[in-house]
Copies of this chain bind each other. A is one copy, B any other.
Amino acid sequence: MKCAEGIEARQVDETAINIDPIQVGGRLTADAMKAVIAYGDGYSVCDNCRKPFRLDYIKSPPIAEFHTDLASWLDMDACRVVPGARRGFQAVCQGLVSKGDPVILTALSHYTEFIAVESVKGLPREIPKDAENQITADAAAETIERVIRTEGKTPALLFVEGVDYQFGNHHDVQGIAKVAHSYDIPVLYNGAYTVGILPVSGKELGVDFVIGSGHKSMAAPAPSGLVATTAEYADQIFATTAVKGDQTGRTFGIKEVAMMGCTLMGVTVMGMMASFPHVKERVLNWDLELANSRIIIDAFSAIEGTTIISEMPRRHTLTRIDTRESFDRVAQTHKKRGFFFTSALGKKGITGVIPGATKIWKFNTYGMTKAQAEYTAEAFLDIARENGLTVAD
């Protein structure tokens, strides 16, 4: 079925149980879909833009209120919506990092954090992970010391992931923030896998910036995200324009440089807003999500030769798994090779695993019902049994 010339209508979540590692937190709510339809047109949110002419001041639709609500929901003082988490990283780097400044990232940092640092010509330096794939406060302290020694200056910023994209592991954000602050290094919390998924309090974490992803974890269309900060940093990060037309004498009001003038517009911010009441609700049900995840983890643990690489017990629905000694063994001799696995999953109505992947791969159970989790767990067990793998009772 085509939705436009040369474009197939996408029907993934309509027709299958999706366990894609990056997609499940960004599926629209029904309200977001309705808002997307109502606000599809380009400048749809600008009907009631009045002085001082800035998008985050618009009252109808209630964009101004949404900004305030986001900040207080995250226990921060100020928030802006941006075209994706990466644009939040970029905004903070623009405000705090100068050419040649070292910036601390971690061995589990997402590539967009590196690129944000690179975009302002900073020097990314990693905190190593330990044997359990954890970023610890001790490792942070050692890295800061090492960087100060080798670069001759204090890092301008430290990034830390609440939950990383590689293992879905939690890290000691509080401890790391304390260490960083003892060197007066501001701390950016990458909440791409947490904000909108589980409860997040910037104040409790003790961080200076909270970044969230709308399209990854807030049931919003892409590109969307947010950057929240404290009163201490808001003026610096959200600095208003200071340039002037040298011939016309024009100045540009209260437009913010790091926001490129106006914040996220149109369909993206409206989808985010329409989902927000549901997102606030769903983070409170995080325990149910973990329980569903564990149903599937238990199934994998029963399949001989399968190892969960992520921390155990699981504290997130994103999991990295090693099936080299189980499903990949089957692939060695199967006529479909590695594709047997995703093909078998497809027949059972499960999607979201990269076709051909049977070695080390990731899945995310977020947003399932318990019945779907049980069905999915049983499907993995069935595929194992059908292909001669040993399954514990």
A155 at the interface (CB under 8 A from B): no
Given the known interface contacts A83-B87, A267-B221, the answer about A119 and B40 at a Cβ–Cβ threshold of 8 Å is no
Q: How far is the CB of A215 from chain B (nearest CB, A)?
A: 3
A375 at the interface (CB under 8 A from B): no
Q: Quick one: CB contact mask for A308-349 with B, threshold 8 Å, 1 for yes?
A: 000000000000000000000000000000000000000000
Q: Which residues of B contact A44 (CB under 8 A)?
A: 10, 12, 23, 222
A40 CB contact (under 8 Å) in B33, B46, B243, B265? B33
A226 at the interface (CB under 8 A from B): no
Q: How far is the CB of A240 from chain B (nearest CB, A)?
A: 10
A389 at the interface (CB under 8 A from B): no
Q: How far is the CB of A15 from chain B (nearest CB, A)?
A: 12
A368 at the interface (CB under 8 A from B): no
Given the known interface contacts A126-B248, A221-B41, the answer about A46 and B61 at a Cβ–Cβ threshold of 8 Å is no
B114→A245 contact, CB < 8 A? yes
Q: Quick one: CB contact mask for A169-196 with B, threshold 8 Å, 1 for yes?
A: 0000000000000000000000000000
A168 at the interface (CB under 8 A from B): no
A86 to B12, CA, bound (A): 33
A46→B31 contact, CB < 8 A? no
A307 to B383, CA, bound (A): 76
A222 CB contact (under 8 Å) in B20, B90, B215, B267? B267
A6 to B24, CA, bound (A): 25
A35 CB contact (under 8 Å) in B4, B35, B257? B4
In this complex, what residue of B is CB-closest to A108? B248
A86 to B222, CA, bound (A): 17
In this complex, what residue of B is CB-closest to A245? B126
A360 at the interface (CB under 8 A from B): no
B13→A41 contact, CB < 8 A? yes
Q: How far is the CB of A124 from chain B (nearest CB, A)?
A: 5
Q: Which residues of B contact A250 (CB under 8 A)?
A: 111
Q: How far is the CB of A73 from chain B (nearest CB, A)?
A: 15
Q: Quick one: CB contact mask for A107-134 with B, threshold 8 Å, 1 for yes?
A: 1010110111111000011111000000
Q: How far is the CB of A75 from chain B (nearest CB, A)?
A: 22
In this complex, what residue of B is CB-closest to A275? B4
A32 CB contact (under 8 Å) in B4, B83, B105? B4
Q: Which residues of B contact A285 (CB under 8 A)?
A: none
A107 to B264, CA, bound (A): 27
B247→A126 contact, CB < 8 A? yes
Q: Which of A217-246 contact B (CB under 8 A)?
A: 219-224, 241-243, 245-246
Given the known interface contacts A222-B43, A266-B215, the answer about A124 and B245 at a Cβ–Cβ threshold of 8 Å is yes
B46→A22 contact, CB < 8 A? yes
A270→B7 contact, CB < 8 A? yes
A148 at the interface (CB under 8 A from B): no
In this complex, what residue of B is CB-closest to A260? B86
User: Chain B CB within 10 Å — which of A7, A31, A277 has the most?
Assistant: A7
A350 to B137, CA, bound (A): 62
A125→B241 contact, CB < 8 A? no
Given the known interface contacts A4-B32, A32-B40, A43-B23, the answer about A118 and B247 at a Cβ–Cβ threshold of 8 Å is no
Q: Quick one: CB contact mask for A183-212 with B, threshold 8 Å, 1 for yes?
A: 000000000000000000000000000000
Can you report 26 A-B residue pairs in the complex whose CB atoms are below 8 A from each other? Answer: A7-B38, A9-B34, A10-B41, A10-B44, A23-B43, A26-B41, A27-B41, A33-B40, A40-B271, A43-B222, A83-B223, A107-B247, A107-B248, A114-B243, A114-B252, A116-B260, A117-B243, A119-B260, A124-B243, A124-B246, A126-B248, A127-B247, A128-B247, A128-B248, A221-B267, A267-B267
Q: Report, nearest first, the 4 A-B pairs whose CB atoms are least far apart.
A: A26-B42, A222-B266, A42-B215, A4-B274
